[in-house]
């Protein structure tokens, strides 16, 4: 929208050169509104993608080593995770190497988190998507043990989440996971649905709609790729979107919204 406004104003005041300048300024404003401050320059997208994928799989390695050793089951979970993502062969090989790097006892995880914050920390949703990927990975075996949860808390704190915000995100992802495959038949399905949207039974219809729209926007493929999530890692966000939609539909039905 601002591109059009910029072109019209620029042409009105300065002619053809003004229209060109207005287009550039309008494009910057549009990208800021859509993706956040960190995504204003599209030329940095490739660098953000590199840092994002490095951080995801290095932290996954650290997470797998949370209990002191990496089991074959955990390795299988990572490989299954990559298959579900539909990653390219090149990215899979890189991801495996990064995962192994993260399991090394002497690897400085803080330096990687600092780099992530410097490159991706000002881009909308990337910090949250990093934590979502890690929580989903930790839940791959159907449970979240104390060591994994403690390490996830440490990651979240480094990313700027306080204890309350992390707990809400964790409960939201846990709630969403109960709707994988469109399941809505469990006894606690409605409670899980509220958690999946980050709201409660006391929330108004309007608050629930706002929460739903915010999540759908955060998981939108074009927005995530614009912010720096590699294209072959978008399928996980698509699955989260489907789970959010199923949870929202259940709440709508129960409230006659």
Asked if residues 247 and 177 have their Cβ atoms less than 8 Å apart, the reply is no
What is the average pLDDT score of the chain? 78
- Stretch 128-142: mean pLDDT, rounded? 82
Which of 6-20, 26-40, 198-212, 226-240: highest mean pLDDT? Answer: 198-212
What is the average pLDDT across 41-70?
A: 78
Evaluate whether 247 touches 237 at the Cβ level (below 8 Å). Answer: no
pTM score, two decimals?
0.74
What average pLDDT does the segment 187-192 reach? 83
Query: Which of the four pLDDT bands, split at 50, 70 and 90, describes residue 28?
Result: very low
Provide the 10 A C-beta neighbour count for residue 59. Answer: 25
What local confidence, expressed as pLDDT, does residue 153 receive? 94
| Contacts (Cβ under 8 Å, ≥6 apart) of 52 | 116, 120, 126, 130, 228, 229, 230
**How are the residues of the chain apportioned to helix, strand and coil, as percentages rounded to the nearest 5?**
80, 0, 20
The mean per-residue pLDDT over the stretch 168-187 comes to 78
112 has pLDDT over 80: yes
Query: CA–CA separation, 76 vs 73, rounded Å?
Result: 5
Q: By mean pLDDT, which of 48-62, 120-134, 199-213 is the weakest?
A: 120-134
Contact criterion met (CB below 8 Å) for 211 and 199: yes
Q: Which residues contact 145 (CB under 8 A, 6 or more apart)?
A: 66, 67
Please determine, for residue 205, whether its predicted confidence score (pLDDT) is greater than 70.
yes
Q: Residue 159 half-sphere exposure, CB side, CA atoms within 13 Å?
A: 30
Q: Is the pLDDT of residue 13 over 50?
A: no
- d(C-alpha 117, C-alpha 127), whole Å: 8
- Measured CA to CA, the distance from residue 52 to residue 57 in angstroms comes to 9
The arithmetic mean of pLDDT across residues 118-135, rounded, is 83
């Amino acid at each position: 929208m601002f591109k059009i406004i910029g072109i019209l104003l620029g042409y009105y005041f300065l002619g053809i050169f003004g229209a060109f300048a207005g287009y550039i300024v309008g494009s910057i404003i549009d990208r800021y509104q859509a993706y956040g401050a960190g995504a204003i320059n599209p030329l940095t997208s490739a660098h953000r993608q590199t840092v994002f994928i490095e951080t995801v799989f290095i932290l996954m390695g650290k997470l797998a080593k949370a209990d002191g050793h990496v089991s074959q089951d955990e390795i299988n979970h990572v490989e299954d995770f990559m298959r579900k993502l539909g990653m390219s062969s090149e990215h899979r090989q890189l991801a495996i190497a990064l995962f192994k790097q993260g399991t090394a006892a002497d690897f400085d995880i803080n330096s990687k988190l600092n780099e992530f914050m410097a490159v991706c920390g000002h881009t909308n949703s990337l910090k949250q998507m990093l934590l979502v990927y890690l929580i989903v990975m930790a839940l791959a075996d159907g449970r979240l043990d104390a060591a994994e949860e403690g390490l996830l808390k440490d990651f979240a704190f480094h990313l700027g989440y306080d204890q309350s915000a992390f707990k809400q995100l964790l409960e939201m992802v846990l709630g969403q996971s109960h709707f994988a495959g469109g399941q809505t038949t469990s006894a606690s399905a409605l409670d899980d649905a509220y958690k999946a949207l980050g709201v409660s039974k006391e929330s108004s219809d309007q608050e629930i709609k706002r929460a739903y729209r915010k999540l759908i926007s955060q998981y939108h493929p074009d927005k995530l790729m614009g912010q720096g999530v590699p294209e072959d890692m978008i399928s996980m966000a698509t699955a989260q979107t489907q789970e959010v939609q199923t949870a929202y539909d259940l709440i709508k039905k129960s409230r006659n919204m």
